[in-house]
Amino acid sequence: MLFNLRNLLNAATLRKSSKQLVQHFRSGQPTQTNVNLKGRDLLTLQSYTAEEIKYLLWTASDLKQRIKDKGEYLPLLQGKSLAMIFEKRSTRTRLSTETGFALLGGHPCFLTTQDIHLGINESLTDTARVLSSMTNAVLARVYKQSDLDLLAKEASIPIVNGLSDSYHPIQILADYLTLQEHYGYLKGLTISWIGDGNNVLNSILMSAAKFGMHLRVATPKGFEPDPNVVKVAEEYSKEYSTKLFFTTDPLEAASGANVLVTDTWISMGQEEEKAKRLKAFQGYQITMQTGKHAASDWTFLHCLPRKPEEVNDEVFYSPRSLAFQEAENRKWTIMAVMVSLLTDYSPQLQKPTF
């Protein structure tokens, strides 16, 4: 009986210490920032200011250093759950979100089309309200951006865009963190996009100028980005005094660029267009020859999965390629998003230079 009593007392002491530890990490130390993202949605980077995006990157850098480099335990999301709705398959989005949310003490719930059919067996409105009553946030990887917009309208919890046909904001956060880590800054860099005018490019167009980055875009005729997105990007370019250039010539787009970026030429749902697209994108493969037109310090990004026709092995596996660091940073940036939208945590470490 004495042994059992000691065990109970030890367990109670451990629970108390654990609770104090969680409370300490939830509050953190105050930092000099006016940014507060708690309760917000993340549907597109257009709705986030330059300072708010920088804050997300700062938080990602902070978490990466504290958890990965220093080995700290930060149960910032203990007691919280995340609904993960995936209409499209994924490696990086699923793995980074599941492992990242769990690493912070939370419980991610993965839902496929076998578990939930948005707007089919239950309306989006009803789905949003049910999920709001059972979870703390939703990350949805969907086809239609309008589905995300309706979920955000009807839900009382944060909705995060895990990818749609229109935007891929969480990918771009990882890209920017990777470039900041490599170059030590973002302002003044020139990004060259060589490929399809897709959701990833749209997200770059909605955000690059906010960091003072210049953008040069090459897409084949008929595969240009959304004109409405381009119009907003042109306004940002004027507001932040950056350069924005469009062409159909990959080498012209690469001229003087610090970063060469491409993506899949055939996105999910476009499989029937494969032959047409492969023909249209001839000459768009990124090679070392492409790099000869870029700045001497050029690097390469690709959000993956990658096909050899998009970038050859010589570039993809070279020291200039940051693709795998970029992939890892998907984890630290989605962790930063969740922590920022769900808690009062503030970064503890020094703010990086952007």
- pLDDT tens-digit profile of 124-168? 999 999 999 999 999 999 999 999 999 999 999 999 999 999 999
Nearest to 175 by CA among 69, 51, 299: 299
pLDDT of 31: 53
User: In this structure, what token pair is assigned to residue 276?
Assistant: 């047409």
Fill in the amino acid letter for 264: T
- 126: Cβ–Cβ under 8 A, 6 or more apart, which residues? none
User: In this structure, what token pair is assigned to residue 338?
Assistant: 């969740």
Q: Is 263 among the catalytic positions?
A: yes
Q: What is the pLDDT of residues 160-201, one digit of tens each?
A: 999 999 999 999 999 999 999 999 999 999 999 999 999 999
Looking from the CA of 313 toward its CB, the CA atoms found within 13 Å total 0
Q: Percent of the chain scored above 90 by pLDDT?
A: 83
- 20: Cβ–Cβ under 8 A, 6 or more apart, which residues? none
Q: Tell me how far apart the alpha carbons of residues 91 and 349 are, in angstroms, rounded to a whole number.
A: 30
Burial of residue 354, with CB atoms counted within 10 A of its CB: 0-12 exposed, 13-18 middle, 19 or more buried:
buried
Average pLDDT of span 327-349: 97
Q: Is 109 among the catalytic positions?
A: no
Question: Which residue among the candidates 149, 263, 297, 344 is catalytic per the annotation?
Answer: 263
Task: Say yes or no to pLDDT of 21 above 50.
Answer: no
Question: Which residue among the candidates 41, 62, 175, 303 is catalytic per the annotation?
Answer: 303
Burial of residue 265, with CB atoms counted within 10 A of its CB: 0-12 exposed, 13-18 middle, 19 or more buried:
buried
**Global pTM?**
0.90
pLDDT of 275: 86
Task: Say yes or no to pLDDT of 219 above 70.
Answer: yes
Q: Tell me how far apart the alpha carbons of residues 101 and 132 are, in angstroms, rounded to a whole number.
A: 18
Task: Say yes or no to pLDDT of 269 above 90.
Answer: no
Looking at the DSSP assignment, which residues form a beta bridge with residue 259? 191, 299
User: In this structure, what token pair is assigned to residue 1?
Assistant: 């009986």
Contact criterion met (CB below 8 Å) for 124 and 154: yes
Length of the chain: 354
Domains and CATH numbers, the chain: 50-168+330-340 (3.40.50.1370), 171-267+277-328 (3.40.50.1370)
Local confidence band at 61 (pLDDT 50, 70, 90 cut-offs): very high
Task: Say yes or no to pLDDT of 1 above 60.
Answer: no
Nearest to 173 by CA among 82, 61, 258, 77: 61
User: In this structure, what token pair is assigned to residue 332?
Assistant: 């630290």
Average pLDDT of span 267-280: 81
Q: Is the peptide bond before 347 cis (omega within 30 degrees of 0)?
A: no
Q: Tell me how far apart the alpha carbons of residues 306 and 324 are, in angstroms, rounded to a whole number.
A: 11
